Each structure stands twice: as C-alpha cells, then as structure tokens.
A and B are shown apart, each in its own frame.
Chain A
Amino acid sequence: MMTIKFMLNGTEQTIKTDPSRRLLDVLRKDFNLKGSKEGCGEGECGACAILLDGHITNSCCLPLASVHKRSIMTIEGYAKTARFDVLSNSFAEAGAVQCGICTPGMILAAESLLNQNPAPTDAQIRIGISGNLCRCTGYNMIVKAIQSAAKRGEGLW
C-alpha cells in the first residue's frame, strides 16, 4: 500500500492502494472513468491512452506509482474543453468514428500532437497517431478530421 497523489482531470486526488496497479485499472475501477478502453493490455493499440502532463501515454503500461505528483487527463475531463468541441465536431463531420473503441485514445493523441504542433502536415499527423490502432477506418478520415480541426481551431492550440 502506498499513498499516491495526482491531478486527475483538474482535481487533486489522493489514493491509498497497491502502487504496482495499472493506471488503467485504477481509472476504470476506482474512479469509474471508463472512457479509457483496454484493447491489448500491452502498450500496442492506444485504446487506453490518456494525457500524462499533456503527453499521450498508454495507461495500461503505467504503474500507478509513476503518476505520483503528475497530472492526468482522461477523455472524460478532456470532453469538457473547447478543444474537444473542435476536434469532436471535425471527427463527426469527417466520418472518423466507426466502432469508436479507438476514438477516445485517438482524440487524445490528436490533442497531444496539436499541442506540440498546431499546424501539422498530413504526414506529421500520421506519425502523431501511429501509436493508436484503428481497425475500422483505415485512418484516412481521422487524418482529415485532425487536419480540419487544426484549421478550425486556429489559436486554440
């Protein structure tokens, strides 16, 4: 047992638990935040991705101990932001959501990318989301969505 403190979607949280537990399980079980999904459990698919200090990170590979004193944003928190509104409208319009299991992670990957590079080329977008697998869309519409969000959301990132 260990006491771990971190910011979760803008609120400070303190929990006492086994520090080797996966962040993904803690988010889903202890905080009932189920927008982060488990696709592979081994860091390959990005369905479990969250933002750790603003960077896209797979929560299935993250022991809770490593988030001590750091800041985590999940899709539930991000969904309340103006940036999400821009991204989600672009995703819906482009047709970038099929089964949706990859989508929360994909949107957070887009945020992480646009945060570093507000005007990416298509090739940079493809690299930026290459840690997130999508089996449904073939990625084309996701790339278009992120490109259009970057344009529409000018100044937001």
Chain B
Amino acid sequence: MHKDISQSIHKLDAHARMQGKAQYVGDIDIKGMLHAITLRSPIAKGIIKAIHYPPLPSGYTIIDYRDIPGKNFVKMIFEDWKIFAEDTVEHIGEPIALIVGEDKRVLYDIHDKIICDIQPLEPLFSYQKSVIDYQFTKGNPDPVFKQAKKIIKETYETGYQEQAYIEPQGFIGYPETAEKVTLIGSVQCLYYVKNAVVSALDTHPDNVRVIQAAVGGAFGGKEEYPSLIACQLAIAIRKTQKPIKLIFEREEDMSVTTKRHPSKTTMEAAIDADNNIVGIRAKVALDGGAYIGLSGVVLSRALIAVTNAYTIKHLAVSGDVFKTNTVPNGAFRGFGAPQMIFAIEMFMHHLAKQLNQDPYSFRMQYLAKQGDQTSTSGLFRDPIIMPKMIQKATEMAQFHDKVKAYKTMPNRGIGMSYFLHGCGFTGSGESTHINAQVKLRKDDHDHVYILVAAVDMGQGAKTTLIKIVSHTLEIPIEQVHFDYPDTDDVPDSGPTVASRTAMIVGGLVNQAALEMKSLWQSKTPLEVIKRYKQPEWIVWDEKTFQGDAYPAYSWGVNIVEVEVSPITYQVNIIGIWSVYDVGKALDETIVLGQADGGTAQGVAYGYLEVMVHEQGQLKQKNMTDYIIPTAVDMAPTQTHLYDNPFALGPYGAKGAGELTLVGGAPAVAMAIEMAIKKPIKKIPATPEYIMELMHDDDH
C-alpha cells in the first residue's frame, strides 16, 4: 500500500478488451430495435425549397426539424448549430432528416428516392466572414514595435486533422417511459449530451438518461459531435416510442464529423539592436466551418499558447474564427494549441536563423522560468524544469552530435520542440461553466464506488481513478469500483476533455477519499460528495484575457529524426525521443502510453495526415484516403518522465492527455527543414510540398 503510485499495474479493463468482451455501442442490440440513417445536404450552401419524400412502407418514419419539441439548436455555447436543417443548408453533409425503420436496405432504398429541392447559393470558402474575434496584449507592444530595429514577419499554415478513432460514432437508445429517453453511446461528455437532449426535447432533466458504452477512441472527436446525433436520435425515439440504433459507417463519419481547424497564423517579431526579441505580434485565423460550436474556445486556447514555453515581454495577440461553408470544425486533442505551437516554434527557429544565431541556444534564452509572467500576464507559480528536460532529451537522442553530422550529410535531419500545455479548462471555465461534483459511495461490505461522469476512452481514467482511491483509503484495488457512468447515477463531474480528468476530477476524488477515510466505519454505508472550488489565487478576466489562464502547466520536449528521400521526397521517421513533466504519473505505463500515442498523432499531423476539401467536399473519405501511421510508419519512441509534483493535483498529478500531441509537428518540421535545407512554413509537410520548396530553388 505504501508503494509509489506511479508503479504500473495492468489496466483494469485490459483483459476484457483483449478478449473482445468490452461492449462498444455497435455491440449492443435491443430486441425490436429500429435503425436510423441520415439524409444529408448534397450541396455546400442553399435554400431548401422542398424535400419530396416517397410514400413510406408501414413501420418507416421520417424525422426532421418539424419533430423537434424544443429549440432547433444543439445546446452548446452559441445557439447556432442546427439539429436538422430547416430552411437553409450551410455545408455538404448537413443533416436534414433521419429515416427510421427496421430493415437497413429499405432505409437506403427510401433514402435514394428522396428528392431534395435546394436552390444553390454561392458558398464561402475563404477567410472573410469573422464570427468570433478575440484580442489581448501584454506589456506595451506598440512603442516596442515602433522603436524596433527591425521587424521580422512570417506566416504559417496548418491543415485539417481527422481524429480517426477506430470506432466510428454511434448511439443506441430506447424509451424508458413515454416521457423518458435513455441513450447509450460512444461519448466523452455525458452531461453535454444530456443537457443538449433536454433542450431539444424541451423536457425535465429527469427524462433524459445518458450512459457511456465502451469508447473505441475519441481524441476530442467525441466531445461535442455526439450531442448532435443524440438529439436527433432522442427526437426519433420520442416520436416512434421504439429502440433505435444510429451507427455511422466510416465514410459518413469521416465526411461529416468535426475536425481540427485549419489555420493561418501571421507572426511578427520586434528585434532590438542587440538582436533580441522584444515583442511579438500574432494574428491567428481559424477555419470554423459552417457552425461555431466550440470554435471560440479553441481560438482562446490557441491565442493563449502564443508564446508557448517562452517568455516574451510585449505581446499583441488577436485572432478570428471564420465561417466557411464546410463541415464544422471542433475539438481535437490539443484544442487550438497544436496550430499555435507549430507557428511559434517554427517562428522562433526561423528568427534565430535570420539573425544568424544557433536556433537552439537562441530559443533556450527565452524559455519561461518560475516567476515569469505568462502570455496573459498571469504567473508561472510552480518550478519549471525545462533545462533539465532538454538536457535529458538531447542526451537520449545524441542530438548535438547528429546536428553536427547532418550539417554535411544530405537528406538527414533532426529537430527539437519545446512546449507546454495549460491543464484544465481555459480561464474560469472550471468554476463558472462546469462546477464539477464527484461522489464516493461505500457499501456495507466496504466496497467503494467512484461516481463521476469521467469517461475511460482508452486513456486509463478507470485505472487511474481507482488507484487514487485505493491508495488514499489504503484498501485493495479490488475493493474499488468504477463502472461506465450513467447520468441517473453519477453527478456532473464535467466533460472528459482539456486534460482535466487526472488533475481536476482525480483531485476531487482524492479529497472525497480523504474525507471518507476520516469518517470510515467498517461495514457502514457512507457517501461523500465533493464540489470543485477554484483556488482564490486564480484570477481571470474573460473579456481582456488577463490573469491566470490555467492553474498549472505541463511541459515537454520532443526530438524527431528523419530521412527525406531525395527522389520521392518521402519522409521516413528514424526516431522519436521525448521528455515530459506531467507533475506526477499516476501510473507510469499509462502515461507513457499517452506519450506514445499523442506523439504519434502530433508527428503525423506534421508530415503525414492530409485532408483537404474541394468546393466544400472533403476529398478524403475513408481510411484508404486519409492516411494515419501504421506500425511501419512510426519509429521506436523513447520517453522519459520527470516528477515535478503540483501541490493541488492528486499525488502531484497535472494534465497528460493533450501535452503529448502538441509538440510533434514542429519537431518533425524542423527535422525535415534540416534535411532539405529549406524553411518549412506549412504542415503537413508532404512530399508535394517538399518538392515545391526544392523546386523554388531552381529559380
């Protein structure tokens, strides 16, 4: 019991999953259930004149906006995202109706006979129509830019990234009573779904129950999108009073669900006479797609990450979310930070080169230190151990020797990124929007049940939370339970997002366990509830972006080594080395697994994963077209974790889920840059892009 909590145990659900026994939503069938398929807009923008439905066989039903008892919006932040298209369509694939019935072949047959009379309008694909704009400053940027000896400016672009969870989205639901609907699905955020469905059905919260099925990967893709299909399905269940299953096929999933926002970021640096950076101006454009959804929150995280792991005294930061007639973009592990961190890391690297300095020692000088001001004039309160981490990473990778060797050796390169990730919700989100609550229940056999809405989507939440309770109560793991959460049973501990599960939910669970320990009476049932209280020292002004945007930061270093074929410009990953500070690993193997998987996604974002649209139609439709890494594409990774406990985290833990993704792209881009001796300003750095850069040379 006095073991170090980091010591790994077998993940508690691993054996069931290996035997194929875990029940994902696709594995659940209910007697007498119907199926649903979706009728979607074939065009990017238009006015719906009429939808002509064929006569329906008995037992088959159409569900559209006219069937919605409540408001026709997916309840999120803004009232802009429709459950079903009503008078207009804003993107290809926008849902118009569900077709519901027993036999899928009949459903497809009905689908093909429906005639959509939609008058096309001119769609918008460029960054023209800003729907959200934020800006903030730090210090006094204007005079600094006026007095600068020179100003260096660069623009960086990033593409779409698709979450590509292996299990597509889906829900199954049934009427529990004439009033009450129960939905079981592949979700990250049970209460987001519940609240959205309550609003769509315009009903009492007791009439909506949401249960998590085993989740086959999520990565942010199952943060807000499931609310949309849950609303549609709940409306259909209400109307038909039958169990219904709605599971996406891969092509449908890939063409209509949210992606990582493409971005374009312009960075300017004010340089003084001694070649120091004295100020930075940044302007970020995110492609929001047709509806805002969570794009505003993504934008704020991007903007706040403007100086990444560096301290720059004077900043002017602004950004927009642009509406385009494309699939709405949304949450994806990293949530705006990967775009910004790519831009700032490359910019710092390029500045050094333009100022004839060694990029790595140049960048080191600006690394944030404890006591420095953050980009939003908050405080880095806790110890920062980046120098030690960089030292370790460079030793592991034999970085300096390779940098020297590759100066003369063609086609080989190595790159290193530094980065941080703010843990938990941005700003005051945790206290004003979420207000998390957790419950621990002990029965008369002294078994303890963790009642939280946190979802284990593979990241190990179940094992980690059980370990916390078992350690704190000093009882065996087998005596602690954490089942798939059910909103009829668990309080709203908030969504499973923003690297908050270990730190915030785990922290509350630990507090509850401590209280339970002090009240413990053997064989007596007991319940303890804990509610989140924002530490008083966290002050945040949402309007001006001033103060502490996050209670804590996790830190990382990635090194990536590549070989670039001089003939095909194919990039081959040779090795990946990482060092992370996540406070304290609640289970070492689990955190290392997050590191491996996150880094693979981050690196692949930088060079491999291509998604583009043509006139609003995504060109990559399935796993054949949208390439994610195979075991052959990924090189062996070596990862080292340093303990740097955070006083308020359970056992010192900070966030670990997203951190591991955000630094991959700049590291691989810098490596490619070294191999081809051309600056990379756009990701993914595909062979076509590299060829373009090499070709430019000839002129």
Contacts and interface: CB of A to CB of B under 8 A. Distances in A.
B8 interface: yes
Contacts of A99: 17, 165-167, 214-218, 457-458
A104 B18 contact: yes
A44 B217 contact: no
Contact of A98 (B168, B460, B623): B460
Contacts of B216: 37, 39, 99-101
Contacts of B11: 92, 95, 97
A57 interface: no
Nearest to B592: A95
Given A98-B458, A101-B217, A130-B631, A40 B250 contact: yes
A64 interface: no
Contacts of A142: 631
A74 B601 CA distance: 30
B191 to A, nearest CB: 21
Interface in B599-628: 599-601, 622-624, 628
Contacts of B634: 126, 138-140
Interface string A16-27: 000000000000
Contacts of A125: 631
Contacts of A79: 18-20
Contact of B167 (A34, A37, A91, A107): A37
A39 B165 CA distance: 9
Interface stretch (B21-29, B42-50, B224-232): B21-29
A133 interface: yes
A93 B10 contact: yes
Contact of A42 (B458, B460, B624): B624
A99 B218 CA distance: 9
Contacts of A103: 17-18
B167 A35 contact: no
A90 to B, nearest CB: 10
A94 B628 CA distance: 23
A114 interface: no
Interface in A126-151: 126-127, 129-143
Nearest to A104: B20
A125 B630 CA distance: 12
Nearest to A76: B20
Contact of A36 (B20, B163, B219, B589): B20
Contacts of A104: 18-20
A28 B27 CA distance: 8
Contacts of B94: none
B464 to A, nearest CB: 13
A45 interface: yes
A136 B24 contact: no
Given A92-B11, A92-B15, A133-B623, A75 B20 contact: yes
A92 B623 contact: no
B320 interface: no
Contacts, number: 172
Q: Which of B459, B623, B628 has the most CB of A within 10 A?
A: B623
B632 interface: yes
A88 interface: yes
B139 to A, nearest CB: 40
Given A37-B216, A92-B18, A104-B18, A42 B457 contact: no
Contacts of A34: 20, 23, 27
A85 B277 CA distance: 59
- Judged by DSSP, the binding face of A is loop
Give the contact-size bracket for chain A: 35 or more
Interface string B567-593: 000000000000000000000011011
A102 interface: yes
Give the contact-size bracket for chain B: 35 or more
Given A137-B597, A143-B631, A39 B624 contact: no
A41 interface: yes
A47 interface: yes
A86 B73 CA distance: 51
A102 B8 CA distance: 22
A44 B15 CA distance: 25
A42 B622 contact: yes
Contacts of B19: 35, 75-76, 79, 88, 104
Contact of A41 (B219, B249, B600, B630): B249
A91 to B, nearest CB: 6
Nearest to B626: A44
A79 to B, nearest CB: 4
Given A34-B27, A97-B11, A101-B216, A42 B623 contact: yes
Contacts of A40: 250, 622-623
B470 to A, nearest CB: 18
A92 B9 CA distance: 9
B589 A95 contact: yes
Contacts of B460: 98
B631 A129 contact: yes
B249 A98 contact: no
A122 interface: yes
Nearest to B13: A100
Contact of B596 (A35, A39, A74, A140): A140
Contacts of A130: 630-632
A131 B597 CA distance: 18
Given A35-B20, A79-B19, A95-B590, A138 B217 contact: no
Given A75-B19, A133-B623, A135-B166, A100 B593 contact: no
A139 B589 CA distance: 14
A38 interface: yes
B348 interface: no
A3 B142 CA distance: 81
Q: Which 4 A-B pairs have the closest CB atoms?
A: A35-B20, A100-B17, A99-B458, A101-B216
10 contacts: A33-B20, A36-B20, A76-B20, A88-B14, A99-B458, A103-B18, A107-B18, A135-B163, A135-B219, A139-B631
Given A35-B20, A95-B589, A143-B636, 6 more contacts: A41-B250, A92-B10, A95-B8, A95-B11, A100-B18, A133-B628
